Structure 1
Amino acid sequence: MYLKIAKKVLCAAICCTPTIVEASLPSDSLFLTLDRLFEWGVEHNLQLKADRIQLEMAEERIKTASSMKLPDIQIGLKGGVLGQPVVFEHGLSDATYPDTPDWSQNYAVDFTQPLYEGGKIRYAVKKAQLEHQAVSLQTDAHRAALKLDLLEKYMSLFSLYKQHEILSRQIEESELRLFDIRRMKREGLITNNDVLRSEMQLTRDRLSLTEVENNIRLFSQQLTILLGIKEDYLLKPDTTLFSMPVLLEDYEAYWEEAYREEPSLKWLRKQTELAKNEVKGVRSASLPQVSLYASNTLARPISRTMADLYNNNWNIGLSLSYSLSSLYKNNHKKKESRLAVYARQNEEELQLQHLRVEIRTAYLRHQEALKEVEALQLSVRQAEENYRIMQNRYMNQLAILTDLLDANTVRLNVELQLTNARTRVIYTYYQLQKVCGRL
């Protein structure tokens, strides 16, 4: 009777006592949802900050290229001392020194408006716009890769919490089992060997729990650094992730969407457009250039008579120029730009091949993870039943402690495998979303 009362008291004490992780880990915890993980991660990622700077620079390049359409206006001012001119009336003899003003002044305004540059300005603007779009697509690719990396750490942290939960329950049951074994030892039903082995098993479980606690601290610190929050926070993941829909769609649907939306492939297509635009830009150097020009000049003294008077003149007209040297200087550059287009198209085809492999791999891995969860759920039920049977048999002296501990180890391993499989389902689901351009 006394032993039954003591056992109940011990059970109540164990159930009411905080778990080891709650007692030993910092109490300053932070509940972290998946949406908040992605939001903070994107906000504080240094690579994405660099991409945002590159995007701003690309916007300025568009404005710079567009400004080439505007006219060039120059204002000039010259002033200085005039030297004494020498005039030779007969060859280099009979030098005379005419009177001239001592100072010269020149004020000029020149205006040039490009009318036709062979498309050079238009292609420069388009190049800047394509570069801006390419930087934006590269940012999308970096953002998707970052989210998947954050998710991997997040799911590892989630798995560690589940391991902690399983090990804590394991320790509670081991303590109860040790209580019963010690009672049976005092009653002379078993030897001291079973007590020692149970104590050793309990020590191993506690060491495993300590290792899990340390891993929780480490993964929490890694995430807090990436999210830009206090390192002292103990992050707690959202357990409702397991209830999210993770069903598979048709494989061809994934492929068609990836062909349209995958950021890396879209970036390569934009690079091909850039290369084609460069071909047109190189060709424009072999075309004539037409400009409208106008100028006004106010000068003193008059240059022909050296009279100390102001002279104002203006002019307006069209300027046409054509570089004959471009006919033989640009040939190799034209060929190089065409080859660059072929190179970009080849990279695009190569990425398509890689993308097909990635989609098929992610599709099969997610399918595999779903089936693994189904199989392990059945294995957990079987292991629970096996452990219950072995426990009853051991308490009735129909089995030895080794059989009971083996059953307990099998149950623990299967539960841990199920936890890992569930987290793998979430990860492979988002991995499939990434390769399709959805993440």
Structure 2
Amino acid sequence: MINNKHLAVIICLLTTSLFFAQQKTSLKLKEAINLAIEKSNEVVLANTKVATKKLELQSVKNNLYPSLKASGQYYRLTNASVDQKNKSTGSSSIPTASPKVNQLMLAQINASLPIFSGFKLRNSIEIADNMYKAENALAENTKEEIAVKVVEFYAELYRAQKSIELLNENLKKSNQRATDFKALEENGIIARNDLLKAQLQIAKVQLSLDEASKNVNIINYELITLLKLPSETQLFVDESEFKNFEMINIPKDESTALLFRKDLEAVRIQEKASENNIKLAKGSYYPNLSLVAGYTALSLQNVVTVKNAINFGLGVSYDFSSIFKNNTEVKIAKNKALEIRQNENLLTDKIKIDVKNAVENYNLALKQNLVYAQAVEQTSENYRIVKDKYDNGLSDTNDLLEADVEDLNAKINQSYTKANIVEKYYQLLSVSGQLTQTINASKN
């Protein structure tokens, strides 16, 4: 049997383990952003696409090198008839027996170096290079999107955690009020209806608390999944993340976004690639020229043996049907270029609207912060006055509970605005294409 001393040690160990298992992790916002940029699936996929485009570019460049091919054939011949026609100096011709031919061996080495192909090779390389640059820009844009996603998660998590903190404080106060009301009701000082109202208030606060706890669990899980942290990690957002926050590079209009947005940069680079694609299509109107060289060895059994048959020269090819067919390909390339320009116009308009919304939302958050700060002072003072009146019998329970709810809501709203300002600031940087740039600059 376990004695009391051993039992105490076991309980102590279990309690300590439970404490550390439930201990929350504080991770700074900028650290979380850098972690997401490094490990998130979206960024990993974007980087993989960049690597693929780089390999495709190298593959196209490889076409600059000459091609060298070697081939060999061995044929077994069956009853081959070989007619040898020999010229003789005499007036008579002596018939010769037909040689026995059972096999044919052929070996070839061919080399080819393109010297002109209607500028197709050069344009193909420029297309691949531009697509590689565009993919790089899209990868940077993905990092911007992931960064602002982390910011939004952090703001949501802070709001939910702050709600729990304030609701717990209010729940304690509501429980104490219900305890006091119960004593008063038992002594016949207040009606039972007032006690029920106080108890109903506890239920409402508890429901809000449960909702906030659920939100914390969901947001925390989404965030740690994005950051690739262990599933048991419980993140805690320190309030210092939203206090005395230094805000720099605050855009005022869309000019910054049109200069720094990576998705817009990607479209502009794709437009360059589309122009090269038009030139590539037009290249089919020209002939292809190449330097060619080769070596051939041939052996026809008992008939002929050829060795050291080296050849070199100039190869020319031209598809005359391209004069008629290629016109459609050129039109297709031009239409695709037009589509990209139209997409650029659409994206430009969207960026302008996004920046306008972000600027207005940021300014609104600043104004709301001032209003809610005043509201907290007003609701706190109002609750104090109503409480004094209630204690002196000059106010009823409804007024007291209503003042308490207003005070709680004002405090929650004020705590929200701190996170809202930082969130709207980062969203403004994001739509202007400066979020990751600002984060990296602040680290130095």
Structure 2 length normalisation: TM-score? 0.84
Q: Does the residue aligned with 1:76 lie in a helix, a strand or coil?
A: strand
Q: Which of 75, 84, 101 lines up with 1:80 in the alignment?
A: 75
Query: What is the Cα deviation at residue 230 of structure 1?
Result: 2.3
Match in the other structure for 1:262 = 261
> For the residues of structure 2 that align with 1:400 and 1:24, how far apart are their CA atoms?
44
Trace 1:277-426 onto structure 2 (pairs within 5 A): 277-301=276-300, 307-426=303-422
Q: Residue deviations 1:348-396, cap 9 Å, x none?
A: 1121111111111110111011101111100111111111111122222
Q: Does 1:232 align with 2:232?
A: yes
Distance 1:159 1:107 in 2: 78
Going from structure 1 to structure 2, the CA distance change for 1:154 and 1:97 (only over 3 Å counts) comes to farther
Q: Contact 2:84 / 2:98 at 8 angstroms: preserved in 1?
A: no
1:189-268 correspondence to structure 2 within 5 Å: 189-243=189-243, 244-246=245-247, 249=250, 251-252=252-253, 255-268=254-267
Indicate whether 1:99 and 2:99 are aligned.
yes
Deviations 1:189-246 (A, max 9, x none): 4334333322322232233223322221222122222222222222211322212134
Following superposition, the deviation at residue 97 of structure 1 comes to 5.4
CA distance in 2 between partners of 1:80 and 1:250 (Å): 77
Would you say the 8 A contact 1:299–1:312 is kept in 2? Answer: no
> For residues 136 and 261 of structure 2, what CA distance do their matches in structure 1 show?
13
Structure 1 match to 2:135: 135
Matched residue, 1:17: none
- 1:346 deviates by 1.6
Stretches of structure 1 lacking an aligned partner (at least 5 in a row): 1-22, 90-94
| SS at structure 1 position matched to 2:286 | coil
Amino acid at match of 1:199: Q
Rounded Cα–Cα distance in structure 2 between residues aligned with 1:199 and 1:323: 90
Structure 1 counterpart of 2:222, which letter? Q
Identical residues among aligned pairs (%): 22
CA distance in 2, matches of 1:327, 1:97: 55
Q: Alpha carbons of 1:268 and 1:242: their partners in 2 closer, same or farther (altered >3 Å)?
A: same
Which secondary structure does the structure 2 equivalent of 1:278 belong to? helix
Residue 122 of structure 1: aligned partner: 122
Deviates more, 1:99-108 or 1:217-226: 99-108
Match of 1:13 in 2: none
Structural RMSD (CA): 2.6
Deviates more, 1:178-187 or 1:390-399: 178-187
Which string of whole-angstrom CA distances, capped at 9 and with x for unpartnered residues, describes residues 317-352 of structure 1? Answer: 222333332222211111221222222112111211
- The residue aligned with 1:9 is none
User: Could you tell me how far apart the structure 2 residues matched to 1:382 and 1:247 are?
Assistant: 32
Q: Shift of the alpha carbon at 1:312?
A: 2.5
Q: Distance in 2 between matches of 1:109 and 1:24?
A: 76
- Once residues 174 and 305 of structure 2 are traced to their aligned partners in structure 1, the CA distance between those partners, rounded to angstroms, is 113
SS in 2 for 1:223: helix
Question: Is contact 2:112–2:290 with CA below 8 Å preserved after alignment?
Answer: yes
| Structure 2 stretches lacking a partner, 5+ long | 1-17, 86-94, 436-444
Higher mean alpha-carbon deviation, 32-41 vs 342-351, is at 32-41
Q: Is the CA contact 1:101–1:308 (under 8 Å) kept in the aligned structure 2?
A: no
Paired amino acid for 1:50: L
**Amino acid across the alignment from 2:265:** K
Aligned counterparts of 1:288 and 1:88: Cα–Cα separation in 2: 41
SS, match of residue 132 in structure 1: helix
Alignment of 1:66 onto 2:67: no
- SS at the partner of 1:160? helix
Q: Identify the residue that residue 436 of structure 1 maps to in structure 2.
A: 432
Separation of aligned partners in 1, 2:328 and 2:285: 13
Q: Deviations over 1:280-310 (max 9, x none)?
A: 10111112222111111122249xxx64545
Contact in 2 for aligned 1:100/1:308 (Cα 8 Å): no
Q: SS of 2:22's equivalent?
A: coil
- Look up the SS of the partner of 1:109 in the other structure: strand
Q: How many residues align?
A: 407
Counterpart CA distance in 2 for 1:198 and 1:267 is: 60
Matches for 1:25-36 after TM superposition, within 5 Å: 27-36=22-31
3-state DSSP of counterpart to 1:151: helix
- Pick aligned residue for 2:34 from 35, 39, 43: 39
Letter in 1 for 2:32: L
Q: For residues 221 and 390 of structure 1, what CA distance do their matches in structure 2 show?
A: 42
Tell me if structure 1 keeps the 8 A contact 2:148–2:427. Answer: yes
Q: Which residue is 2:163 aligned to?
A: 163
Please name the residue that 1:154 is paired with: 154
Bigger shift: residues 152-161 or 167-176: 167-176
Residue type of the partner of 1:207? L
Letter aligned with residue 177 of structure 1: R
Q: Is the 8 A contact 1:85 1:97 kept in 2?
A: no
Deviation, structure 1 residue 186 = 6.0
In structure 2, distance between residues paired with 1:76 and 1:396? 109
- 1:273 alignment partner in structure 2: 272
Distance 1:119 1:88, change over 3 A: closer
- C-alpha spacing 1:388/1:247, structure 2 compared with 1 (3 Å): farther
- Aligned residues of 1:87 and 1:96 also touching (Cα < 8 A): no
Change (3 A) 1:142 1:65: same
Q: Distance in 2 between matches of 1:208 and 1:335?
A: 62
Deviates more, 1:64-73 or 1:177-186: 177-186
Question: What CA distance in whole angstroms lies between the structure 2 residues aligned with 1:249 and 1:44?
Answer: 28
TM-score normalized with structure 1 length: 0.85
SS of corresponding position for 1:229: coil
